[in-house]
Amino acid sequence: MIFAASEKMLRSISHSLLLFFLVTAFSGCYIADQVLLEPPAPAKPDLQKSSEKAVKEYVRSKSDDGYYNSLGFSDAVVFVPQELIDLETLEEYRREGIISGASTDSMIDSKRKYAEENQIQRTVNITHFFTVSKTDQPLEVIGADYILNDTFGVMDFTPVVLFTIPSAYETALHYFYYEYTIFYSPDPQESRRLSNQFYYFYKKQLKTINDISLRSAFYRHAVVLTDLVGKTGTFDQNLVAAQMIRNHYLDLKDSVVRHELNYSALYEKRIQQELEGYYIFHKFIETKDSLNDTLVNRFDFDPYFQITGIRPAESSETDLFNN
């Protein structure tokens, strides 16, 4: 009777083992897809703190003689390779008695050895934004994705934002990053609402830009606008367009002297009622080699007030300034 019972149990275990491998074989793709499609769970608070501390120490060690200032971190996210998922699933089934035997032990040992030899481990992904400042140099603004191993060592990092700004824009950078109120209204709630709209508009666009150079340029542009809005308390489109033109000429750093005379009204560009951007005409005196010339240029902007085109105004367009 004892032998019969043991034989029955053995058949049950063998059946369970066979069932397990059949299920695994037919659902392997599903499991892999599930891991890729489902968003990883955020790290626990202690893991978040450990990840932030490790990245800060790493950045400080690489900052040379610059002053490092942390802006903030994204939520840390833990990634578990499929090989570890398979190994730990087998180990759990063995603990629960679903599978057992020498072949099971051998399979688990083999998978564990493979993971160790190939350094397959859990990793933590976290994004860090910070600045590095050096004496008499522009402020470096850096955002990077960091990959940490299971002992919080930095394995790799990839820049996501990288640009410089004059130190005078540091406050605006903080305002944009933390989304402080920049609009003025007698009603504080209205000030907050307008500020939220501004940040949402520009940060939503930031998320759509994959190229690091374009993303960095757009981020810098948004910081410059944040500074302008913060100083005026409003988003005056004509004022913004004029300031973008002044900044453009300042960035040229050429020997030409320009004296602005006037700006036209700001015009919208629409295609089938869809806003494509704006344009404005700028009249100025250009002095080069002691010669003065009065010119009118047309400046085109995208919906985010980035300059997309500059050309001399046509004769019919210069009539805007004849009155």
State residue 10's pLDDT score: 34
The pTM of the full predicted model, rounded to 2 decimals, is 0.78
Q: Rounded to an integer, what distance in angstroms lies between the CA atom of residue 150 and that of residue 159?
A: 22
Q: What percent of the chain has pLDDT over 90?
A: 61
Return the exposure string of 255-269: e unless at least 16 CB atoms fall within 10 Å of the residue's CB, then b. eeebeeeebbebeee
Averaged pLDDT for residues 215-223: 98
Averaged pLDDT for residues 267-274: 90
| 198-203, Cβ contacts within 8 angstroms, sequence gap of 24 or more | 198/226, 198/229, 198/235, 201/304, 202/176, 202/304
State residue 33's pLDDT score: 34
pLDDT > 70? residue 76: yes
State residue 315's pLDDT score: 82
pLDDT > 90? residue 280: yes
Model pLDDT for residues 248-265, shown as the tens digit of each residue: 999 988 888 999 999 999
State residue 92's pLDDT score: 83
pLDDT > 60? residue 16: no
In sequence order, which residues have a C-beta less than 8 Å from that of residue 108 and are 6 or more positions away?
Answer: 87, 90, 91, 94
Q: Comparing 204 with 110, which gets the higher pLDDT?
A: 204
Averaged pLDDT for residues 19-44: 40
pLDDT > 60? residue 22: no
pLDDT > 50? residue 13: no
Averaged pLDDT for residues 187-195: 97
How does residue 45 score in pLDDT terms, banded at 50, 70 and 90? low
Token readout for 86 is 């398979």
Question: What's the mean pLDDT when you consider all of the chain?
Answer: 84
H helix intervals, 123-211: 170-178, 188-206
pLDDT > 70? residue 4: no
The CA-to-CA distance between both ends of the chain, in Å, stands at 113
State residue 32's pLDDT score: 34
Averaged pLDDT for residues 272-297: 92
Closest to 175 in 3D by CA, of 146, 153, 202: 202
pLDDT > 90? residue 14: no
Averaged pLDDT for residues 273-278: 92
Q: What percent of the chain has pLDDT over 70?
A: 85
pLDDT > 60? residue 312: yes
Q: Rounded to an integer, what distance in angstroms lies between the CA atom of residue 17 and that of residue 24?
A: 11
